[in-house]
Structure formats: C-alpha cells, structure tokens
Amino acid sequence: MDIAIKTALISVSDKRGIVDFAKGLAQMGVKIISTGGTAKALTEAGVPVTNIDAVTGFPEMMDGRVKTLHPRIHGGLLALRDKPEHVEAMRQHGISPIDLVCVNLYPFEQTVAKPNCTLEEAIENIDIGGPSMIRSAAKNHKFVAVVTGPDQYPRVIEQMRGNNGAVTSRLREELARTAFGLTAGYDAAIAKYLNGQAGIEFPDRIALALTKEAALRYGENPHQTAALYRLPGSREPSVCSGKLLVGDTEISFNNLLDANAAFELVKEFDEPAAVVVKHLNPCGCAIDEDINVAYRKAYEGDVVSAFGGIIAVNRPVDGILARTIMESYSRFGKALGAEGFFAEVIVAPKYDEEAVQIIRTLKTWGSRVRLIETGPLDRARIDINEYDVRHIVGGLLLQKRDLVGWEPNVLTFPTKTRPAPEQLADLRIAWLVAKHAKSNTIVLAKNKKILGIGVGQMNRVESGQIAIRHAGDEAKGSAMASDAFFPFPDNVEQAAAAGVAAIVQPGGSKKDEEVIAAADKHGIAIVFTGKRHFLH
C-alpha cells in the first residue's frame, strides 16, 4: 500500500542535506513540523515550518529535554488509520496524523570518543525523544515512513516525485528495519560507555552494535556468504577502519582476516617493520632502520610461503618500497628457490601516488592487489576496552584483547648464561611474532629477522622441528621464542642440537628446573617473560 506524505516531522542533529530534503518535501505540498535548531535552520533557508509547540500546545522545556514526548506527536505516529477506534480517538483529542518522521540522534558516540569527554557531557548527549519517535514510526511503518540518515533523503524524494507524493510499503518496511537497527546500536553504545565508566568488564547483557561496511565476495569458502561489519566509535588505526584502494578484484573474507593478522603484528614495532602473513600466520617478519631492507628481510624469511601472501608495513609506501615489493621474486626470491611471487593485499599507513602507479602497472598481478591505507599509527589510540570475540555454535566467547607486548622490566634471567644485547633484540622480535602465530608456536630469529616458524602443531617439539628446518644452517646462533612454557627439557635439547643461542619463554612449568639445567649444560641463555601468548 502506498501512503501519500502530507505531514512530516523533522528533527535532526546531523543537518547535512536536511535543507534540500525539506525543500523537496515542501515543493510537493508537505506540511513540515520541526523543533529547536532544526526549525531555525529550515526557517532561515526559507522552508515553511510549523513549530512543535504549535502542535503540542506546550513549549519546549527543560533545556530541550521535553518537546516531542506528547500524545499529539506519538498519537499521530502510532494511530492505525484503518482502525475506527484509533481514528475516533484522534478526532476527539485533536491529533493529526504524521506520515513521515525524519530524525537522527544526538551524537552520543562522537561525544564520548572525545578525549576529555565528561560523564555529564555524555549523559546530555543521550537522546530520548529521537529514539521514541523513531521507534513509534518504525512500529507503525504500515502508515508512516521513518527516515534516519542523509543517505536516505534522495531515494525518498525520488520515489515521492515519481509516485504522486507517496512512499511504497516496500520502502517503508526497509526504512523501519534500518531504524530499529539504529536505535539498537545507539542503546548498545550507551550501555557500553556506562559499563566502562563503572569498570564492569563483562556485564550481564552485551549488545554488539555493528555497522555494515561491505558485502564480501564470499566467506572462507565460495559456498559461504559473508559481509564486513564495523564496530562504532573505534578510533584505532586498523584494517577495518582503513581506506580500501580497491584493485580489479574485490576483497574477500580471508583477505581481511589475513590483513588484520599482518597489520596487528606490524603495529607491535616502533622501528620500521615489515610482515608477510599466509593463512593467519606470519611467514616473515623483520625490522631495520630502512623499511626497504626490513621488507626484503621479511620476504626472504620464507619466499615459498610468501607467494600469494599478505604484506603489512608500518611506514608509508613510496615509489622505492613499491618497486621493492613488486620485484620481490626477480630481485630476491628467485635465487632462494621461489617459483614466483604476488601479493593479495598490502597494508600500510599511507601510499603516495607514485607507489600506487608502480604497484598497479609494474607487474600484471598489480592490478588485482588490494591496497589498504590505515592512516598514521598511534599506539595511544588502541582501544583497550574492545573485546576479542570468538564464535562457538550457539554463543560467543568474549575476552579482553591480548595487548601485552615485550616488557623488559619484568623479564627474569634464570640461566648462568645471559643473552647478549643483540640476542635480546632478536628474542624480542621472536617473542612478538610468537604472540601472533597459532599455538603451539616456536619462532627462530637472528639479525632482526625471522628465520623459521613452526605453528599450530599438537606438540611443541614438532613446532620446533618445523622452525629449525626452515631456518637451516642459519639456526646456529639464533634466538628462539615459545608462546608457552616448556613442559620438558626436550625442546631445549632440540634447540641445542640446532645451535640456538638464547630462548625466551613464559616459564612456570613444574619442570622449569630441569629445563634450566639443560640450558646451562649447553650454554644457552633463557629469558622468562612471566606471560603466555596462546592463540587458538
């Protein structure tokens, strides 16, 4: 059923496009009711407006807290116009129908995102009348259109102009669904903020309000559908908040998972760093004073696995770095046994125009690579209150993010041999990479470069065998990291046979004394972190 729009109520905080929208309505003979600042803006723009108090018979009061919460407003929104009793009630109480509500809400999320926002400011930016009108109109979408964002204005006007001033039931239903999602997300943001203010980590009820950013080609496999949703209010530089400079191929579910894994690892380093990820695990990572050298070292860590991988760097990509990446195979990989090279995604804080041009044109695969620009990295903007969410059938597991990195002040040195400064630097890199690799994890590093990684094995000894095999002769003098403690000395014996010089691990095993004794026997330095980094 089409509904002709004769009366509209407009009350918005975000005034983008509202004047043109209201003018479009007025040109079609729609009576416009409005409030406060919106009424003022429309009047100044020459749009005829009826003030809300002329409808309710009450002035706006209490600093604008009370203005639309009135039977003549909500009766006009909620009345079922095909029900005689409702029509009669409207007649008796002087209530006129309202056919369209255009409301967006006080900017609560933007307000609380400000560094110096006070609780009083946050409370004052909790909208009451807006959500009430939106919910009333959405509930009665059989007769009322509810418009909640500037992106909807053109479609509504276009349909009215082509439909004798009426809005179809299909569009009203769609607008209502969007409206209920908006109010649900708004309440979720308020609850999250208030729980945070009270220091409640895991409240009895949690609503995860997400905004759809993009439909994806498919999920992990082509028979699965997928979409990307974004948490509101997040200011942290991330793959999700980054700008996608799309290539010829759309980004996929797996691309985003891998890109996130790569970027979260490269964010651990203040110095120039590069990471290569394949199937959620790092296959290369390195740091250097020169980002181009850091990338080369990261790629050389595993040139076979790097094929079709995800690259992340924590410095802007200029023409030199772009060419270094694109020529990985011909300049470095061919001599190391690679069969070829291409990247699915590159993530960086910024790309200059020359870099984009080189990536797109230097190699045929460059037109397909997806570029994600995250903006400048700033560890001060990391959201310490964001949950790490895992799905199990029928529910979600929530935990706080693992934001523990390298903590020099809490390290202990239980062995007779202590690591040299350069070994300690390599232990740091190996430890941070182990944090971002699937358990069980063993990582070998030397000269600020990852040599080999063993991940995801059912026992730690096999993970060590994989890492040592990848490192080859370079394992001699290397630093080893384990994401969890050694339950037996066998890992140390294996490391000693490969020539490993130093090991970092959490400690805390019942057999720590045996592990330490084995290290002392072989002259290996052990460092205990006191923290575990399981990643399942």
pLDDT digit string, tens, across residues 85-130: 998 888 988 889 999 999 999 888 888 888 889 999 999 888 888 8
What whole-number distance in Å separates Cα of residue 179 and Cα of residue 185? 10
Rg for the chain (alpha carbons), in Å?
30
Q: Flag whether 223 is in a domain.
A: no
Rounded Cα gap, residues 178 and 102, in angstroms: 13
Q: Is 119 exposed, middle or buried (0-12, 13-18, 19+ CB in 10 A)?
A: exposed
Last residue of a domain, one of 377, 396, 420: 377
Query: In terms of domains, do 430 and 327 share one?
Result: no
41: containing domain:
3-197
Q: Please tell me the total number of residues recorded for the chain in this structure.
A: 536
Q: Which helix (H) or strand (E) holds 415?
A: none
Q: What is the pLDDT of residues 164-199, one digit of tens each?
A: 999 999 999 999 999 999 999 999 989 988 998 999
d(CA 486, CA 515): 7
Bridge partners, residue 452, by sequence: 444
User: Counting runs of H as helices and runs of E as strands, what totals does the chain give?
Assistant: 19, 22
What is the pTM assigned to this prediction? 0.88
Share of the chain above pLDDT 70, in %: 99
Catalytic residue among 279, 334, 511, 531: 279
**Domain-embedded: residue 217:** no
pLDDT band at 61 (very low <50, low <70, confident <90, very high): low
Q: Note whether 281 and 303 are within 8 A (CB).
A: no
Retrieve residue 19's tokens. 């004047």
What six digits make up the tokens of 204? 């009895």
Flag whether 340 is in a domain: yes
CATH number, residue 414: 3.40.140.20
Place of tokens 């409005």: 34
Tell me: do 167 and 61 sit in the same domain: yes
CB-count burial class (<10 Å; 0-12, 13-18, 19+) for 149 = middle
Is 139 one of the catalytic residues? yes
Q: 31, 86, 139, 531: which one is catalytic?
A: 139
Q: Which of 166, 197, 228 is the last residue of a domain?
A: 197
Task: Provide the pLDDT for residue 368.
Answer: 93
Q: What is the side-by-side strand order in the sheet with 145-147?
A: 50-51, 31-34, 7-11, 100-103, 145-147
* Same domain, yes or no: 445 and 504: yes
Query: Domain boundary residue among 322, 357, 377?
Result: 377
Query: Which letter does DSSP use for residue 143 in this model?
Result: T
User: Which of 292-301, 317-326, 384-393 is the least confident region?
Assistant: 384-393
In a domain, 384, yes or no: no
The 3-state DSSP composition of the chain as helix, strand, coil percent (nearest 5) reads: 40, 20, 40
Give the total number of structural domains in the chain: 3
Which pLDDT value is given to residue 64?
66
Indicate if 278 belongs to the active site. Answer: no
pLDDT at position 74 is 87
What's the pLDDT band for 207 if we cut at 50, 70, 90?
confident
Q: According to the model, what pLDDT value does residue 18 have?
A: 95
